[in-house]
């Protein structure tokens, strides 16, 4: 009865929501274009598939779901405009010519009616275009002319590495991309007034095209007078220190772009432009104009969210965050976060309260803003591995050095206390679990005092949606004891990522992304144990995408009580040596959607903590998962959905001694789509992840 009442309430709310909306066919009058397709063109990798032709058109098609309940309530309908179709016929022939099909002909449109229009409902049609591409033309010759001996080498480099190639199909867009690449390269080498012209001679009867890039480098230039405009509360000398542009030094276009990015990173400006004055091509000293518009220095934000740690184990929370980016008009940064939530089904508790308070202050004005000093304090009460309640105050005081735009080095002391709130040395199950997780002689609460070193190299073109470049980050924590029984260990963490743009066929933009990350811990001193939270726990949307967050590897199982009062707790054993290798191929499609296929491979071992031979540990700890994903470029970063499939491993069958008829783990330990509904199914595990940001 309770379940029926809840279902009824949800149905009522759904009906109320839909009643407030309007289906797509009631929003407009006329005929809605459901889809646009073509006959006579090529397939997905041909360079002239349906999607590429639709991008060249003025007539749009409606997004998926115009006739599907309840999606139809949220679809923006696109009406058929026959004048658009007339113009699109010409547009498509021009598009084909620009991509090397000079013999292409557009033969006409066919409009197929799907739904007739009514008094209060628009009609629905499908549009079919018929094309005859003909034989494509190839690049017969491709040369760079003009310039000097010094600039000639740059031209030859572009020919060798550019998109357009001899004996390949001609494409005006690729030729234009090479032209822009050569012009930018010249400006990055000091030729501020460089200009490159593209010349194409087409021979349709021979199906050949001759292409030339004509260079006009101009004179080598220097940075001229630098003027700064628009700042009021941010002092000019602070801006000058971040610009790092010196009058009289050689002009470099990439240095201007880097200077603009540095000003944005200050967090005090909503608009930044660094523009050279190129009006006089005979002037050796190029004036540079810097214009800024200050943002609001203070920001207060509220948020609501949740984290799922199992089918019955999730944490809703509310948060508040306050930031100040120019405290006392000295560029001092202040960041304060407060969060309150509750984790459901923790042991025998219906819920366990969680909260976090974090504050940091950063002073960036040391050595011309190349060095910053940061103090961060974090106090948190939460639940670890879905069952271990803890209280954890910690503090960091670090120096951050930015010797260049791609290098960041940090160093400083760290201190924290960790207290497991339910740790009971008198309870035999708790002692067994503690021995499995924490080692013999574990003391609760415990303290960690360490010195942390961090090093980062970042060559990515865009941290939010990377298509080219690489990233490397490593941290080293050296923990030392202040009193007897404290932990002493070395913890090394590494994260390396590589991004390479590739093309399949002629015009299919892909990115191959690789990520390798892992952790290694080694105890030093008399205490050979390692703190449990410091261990490596693969799994999750940004790690091994075959397992929930931090849930890869074997479990330590605790059973308390008997019969109906029995409570079974599961916690990961973790590892002191492990690595994850991720491979992902991304295809950039329409409507800001990126499609991805991925393969994740990982291993988790415990040398020194386990008596098993290390080679056997590596083999037994091996896991892999593969799947498909979608990314949508939202204003706050990529909104990502990944679906992974993996075999079932030993921990999937790990259970307590008096298990019932099925050997598979307790459902609360998995976000596994298959075994959430069919506990004893022999199918592989399927995981679904939703997150903001890239996985790699």
Give the pLDDT of residue 271: 93
Which band of pLDDT confidence, cut at 50, 70 and 90, is reported for residue 442?
confident
Shortest CA distance to 572 belongs to which of 535, 597, 545, 543?
Answer: 535
Does residue 499 share a domain with residue 418? no
Q: What is the pLDDT of residues 675-688, one digit of tens each?
A: 777 767 778 889 88
Q: What is the pLDDT of residues 131-160, one digit of tens each?
A: 999 999 999 999 999 888 888 888 888 888
Give the pLDDT of residue 666: 53
Record the tokens describing residue 200, joined without a space.
Answer: 């194409």
Last residue of one domain, picked from the residues 269, 294, 319:
294
409/454 Cα distance (integer angstroms)? 6
Q: What is the pLDDT of residues 687-696, one digit of tens each?
A: 888 888 888 8
Above 60 in pLDDT, residue 523? yes
Does residue 407 share a domain with residue 370? yes
Does residue 314 share a domain with residue 264? no
**Residue predicted with more confidence, 200 or 438:** 200
386/676 Cα distance (integer angstroms)? 17
Q: Which domain CATH number covers 609?
A: 2.40.160.50
Contact call for residues 581 and 606 (beta carbons, < 8 A): no
Is 10 inside a domain boundary? no
Does residue 511 share a domain with residue 585? yes
Last residue of one domain, picked from the residues 273, 294, 315:
294
Is 307 inside a domain boundary? yes
Q: What is the pLDDT of residues 258-301, one digit of tens each?
A: 999 999 989 999 999 999 999 999 999 999 999 999 999 999 99
Is 56 inside a domain boundary? yes
Is 427 inside a domain boundary? no
**Residue predicted with more confidence, 66 or 582:** 582
Q: Which domain CATH number covers 153?
A: 3.10.20.310
Does residue 245 share a domain with residue 327? no
- Residues 560-572 have a mean pLDDT of 72
Is 442 inside a domain boundary? no
Last residue of one domain, picked from the residues 402, 422, 442:
422
- Number of compact structural domains in the chain: 5
Give the pLDDT of residue 16: 47
Above 80 in pLDDT, residue 4? no
Give the pLDDT of residue 593: 82
Range of the domain at 235: 222-294
41/505 Cα distance (integer angstroms)? 15
Query: Residues of the chain with pLDDT > 90: what percent?
Result: 57
Is 343 inside a domain boundary? yes
Is 185 inside a domain boundary? yes
Reported residue count of the chain is 696
Does residue 146 share a domain with residue 272? no
Is 11 inside a domain boundary? no
Does residue 467 share a domain with residue 410? no
Preceding omega of 70 cis (within 30 degrees of 0)? yes
Which band of pLDDT confidence, cut at 50, 70 and 90, is reported for residue 18?
very low
Does residue 235 share a domain with residue 157? no
Does residue 372 share a domain with residue 255? no
Does residue 319 share a domain with residue 186? no
Which positions ≥6 away from 128 have C-beta within 8 Å? 36, 37, 38, 39, 109, 110, 111, 112
- Residues 599-617 have a mean pLDDT of 89
Q: What is the pLDDT of residues 614-634, one digit of tens each?
A: 888 888 899 999 999 998 877
Which band of pLDDT confidence, cut at 50, 70 and 90, is reported for residue 1?
very low
Give the pLDDT of residue 615: 87
Does residue 75 share a domain with residue 59? yes
- Residues 81-92 have a mean pLDDT of 95
Which band of pLDDT confidence, cut at 50, 70 and 90, is reported for residue 125?
very high
Shortest CA distance to 329 belongs to which of 232, 260, 242, 261?
Answer: 232
**Torsion over CA: 618, 619, 621, 623 (sign):** positive
Q: pTM of the predicted model, to two decimals?
A: 0.76
Does residue 367 share a domain with residue 391? yes
């Amino acid at each position: 009865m309770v379940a029926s009442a809840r279902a009824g309430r949800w149905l009522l709310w759904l009906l109320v929501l839909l009643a407030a909306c309007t289906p797509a066919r009631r929003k407009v009058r006329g005929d809605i274009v459901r889809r646009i397709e073509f006959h006579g063109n090529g397939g997905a990798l041909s360079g002239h598939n349906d999607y590429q032709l639709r991008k060249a058109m003025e007539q749009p098609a409606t997004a998926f779901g115009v006739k599907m309940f309840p999606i139809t309530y949220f679809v923006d309908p696109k009406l058929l405009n026959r004048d658009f179709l007339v113009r699109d016929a010409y547009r498509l022939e021009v598009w084909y010519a620009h991509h090397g099909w000079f013999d292409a002909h557009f033969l006409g449109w066919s409009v197929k009616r799907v739904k007739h229009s009514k008094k209060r409902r628009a009609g629905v049609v499908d549009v079919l275009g018929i094309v005859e591409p003909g034989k494509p033309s190839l690049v017969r010759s491709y040369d760079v002319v003009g310039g000097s001996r010094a600039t000639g080498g740059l031209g030859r480099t572009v020919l060798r590495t550019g998109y357009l190639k001899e004996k390949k199909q001609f494409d005006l867009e690729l030729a234009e991309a090479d032209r822009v690449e050569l012009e930018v390269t010249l400006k990055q080498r000091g030729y501020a007034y460089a200009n490159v012209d593209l010349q194409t001679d087409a021979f349709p009867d021979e199906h050949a095209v001759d292409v030339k890039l004509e260079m006009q480098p101009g004179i080598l230039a220097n940075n001229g007078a630098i003027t700064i405009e628009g700042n009021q509360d941010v002092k000019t000398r602070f801006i000058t220190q971040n610009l790092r542009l010196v009058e009289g030094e050689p002009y470099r276009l990439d240095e201007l772009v880097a200077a603009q990015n540095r000003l944005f990173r200050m967090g005090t400006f909503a608009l930044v432009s660094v523009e050279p004055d190129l009006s006089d091509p005979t002037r050796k000293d190029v004036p540079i104009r810097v214009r800024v518009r200050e943002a609001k220095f203070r920001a207060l934000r509220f948020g609501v969210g949740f984290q799922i740690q199992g089918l019955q184990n999730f944490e809703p929370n509310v948060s508040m965050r306050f930031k100040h980016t120019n405290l006392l008009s000295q560029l001092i940064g202040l960041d304060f976060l407060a969060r309150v939530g509750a984790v459901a089904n923790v042991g025998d508790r219906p819920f366990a309260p969680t909260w976090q308070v974090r504050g940091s202050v950063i002073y960036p004005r040391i050595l011309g803003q190349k060095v910053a000093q940061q103090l961060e304090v974090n106090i948190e009460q939460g639940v670890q591995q879905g069952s271990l309640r803890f209280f954890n105050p910690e503090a960091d005081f670090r120096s951050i050095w930015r010797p260049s735009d791609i290098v960041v080095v940090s160093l400083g002391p760290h201190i924290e206390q960790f207290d497991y709130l339910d740790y009971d040395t008198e309870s035999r199950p708790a002692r067994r679990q503690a021995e499995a997780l924490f080692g013999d002689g574990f003391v609760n609460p415990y303290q960690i005092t360490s010195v942390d070193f961090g090093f980062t190299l970042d060559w990515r073109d865009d941290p939010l949606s990377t298509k080219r470049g690489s990233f490397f980050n490593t941290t080293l924590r050296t923990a030392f004891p202040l009193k007897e029984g404290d932990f002493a260990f070395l913890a090394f963490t590494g994260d390396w990522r590589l991004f390479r743009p590739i093309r399949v066929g002629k015009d299919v933009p892909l990115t191959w992304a690789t990520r390798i990350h892992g952790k290694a811990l080694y105890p030093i001193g008399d205490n050979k144990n390692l703190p449990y939270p410091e261990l490596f726990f693969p799994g999750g949307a940004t790690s091994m995408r075959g397992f929930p967050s931090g849930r890869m590897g074997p479990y330590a199982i605790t059973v308390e009580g008997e019969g109906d009062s029995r409570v079974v707790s599961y916690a990961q054993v973790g590892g002191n040596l492990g690595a994850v290798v991720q491979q992902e191929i991304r295809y950039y499609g329409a409507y800001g959607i990126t499609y991805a296929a991925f393969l994740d491979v990982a291993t988790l071992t415990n040398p020194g903590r386990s008596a098993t031979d290390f080679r056997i540990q590596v083999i037994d700890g091996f896991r892999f998962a593969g799947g498909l994903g979608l990314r949508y470029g939202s204003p706050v970063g990529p909104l990502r959905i990944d679906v992974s499939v993996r075999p079932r491993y030993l921990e999937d069958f790990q259970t307590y001694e008096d298990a019932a008829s099925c050997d598979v783990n307790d459902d609360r330990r998995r976000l596994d789509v298959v075994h959430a509904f069919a506990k004893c199914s022999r199918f592989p595990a399927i995981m679904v992840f939703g997150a903001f940001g890239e996985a790699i």
